[in-house]
């Protein structure tokens, strides 16, 4: 059975910030990156456990897009839901607070 994917407000704000920053220099690349991140997030509806767990954050998993963009999410098996929590630019010093 497919899971429902929910993009949290924190994720949407992170993604908007990343895309806007890239769009200043290259709008086409910003659009492609944003689209790829969202599509990968949507693909979590099927087998969301396929990505690794984050050791320091119990219950949280992550996937990486284009080597530097980490997307953190949580699988809620009882409700067949995936919550996409944050999107983080790996060029920054620290991971986001979850």
Q: Is residue 98 part of a domain?
A: no
Render pLDDT for 15-41 as a digit per residue (tens, 0 to 9).
Answer: 999 999 999 999 999 999 999 999 999
Strands (E), 9-92: 60-65, 69-76, 81-89
Q: Is residue 64 part of a domain?
A: yes
> What pLDDT, on the 0 to 100 scale, is given for residue 90?
81
Q: Is residue 8 part of a domain?
A: yes
Number of domains in the chain: 1
Closest Cα partner for 33 from 50, 45, 15, 46? 15
Q: Is residue 95 part of a domain?
A: no
Q: What is the total residue count of the chain?
A: 98
32 is in which domain, residue-wise? Answer: 4-89
Whether this model's pTM surpasses 0.75? yes
Provide the 10 A C-beta neighbour count for residue 46.
Answer: 11
CATH of residue 10's domain is 3.30.2310.20
> What pLDDT, on the 0 to 100 scale, is given for residue 95?
57
Render pLDDT for 28-78 as a digit per residue (tens, 0 to 9).
Answer: 999 999 999 999 999 999 999 999 999 888 899 999 999 889 999 999 999
């Amino acid at each position: 059975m497919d899971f429902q994917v929910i993009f949290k407000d924190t994720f949407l704000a992170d993604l908007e910030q990343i895309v806007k920053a890239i769009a200043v220099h290259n709008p086409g690349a910003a659009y492609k990156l944003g689209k790829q991140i969202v599509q990968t997030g949507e693909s979590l509806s099927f087998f969301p456990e396929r990505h690794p767990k984050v050791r320091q954050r119990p219950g949280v998993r992550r996937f990486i897009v284009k080597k530097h963009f980490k997307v953190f999410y949580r699988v809620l098996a009882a409700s067949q839901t995936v919550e996409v929590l944050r999107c983080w630019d790996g060029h920054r010093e620290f991971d986001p607070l979850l």
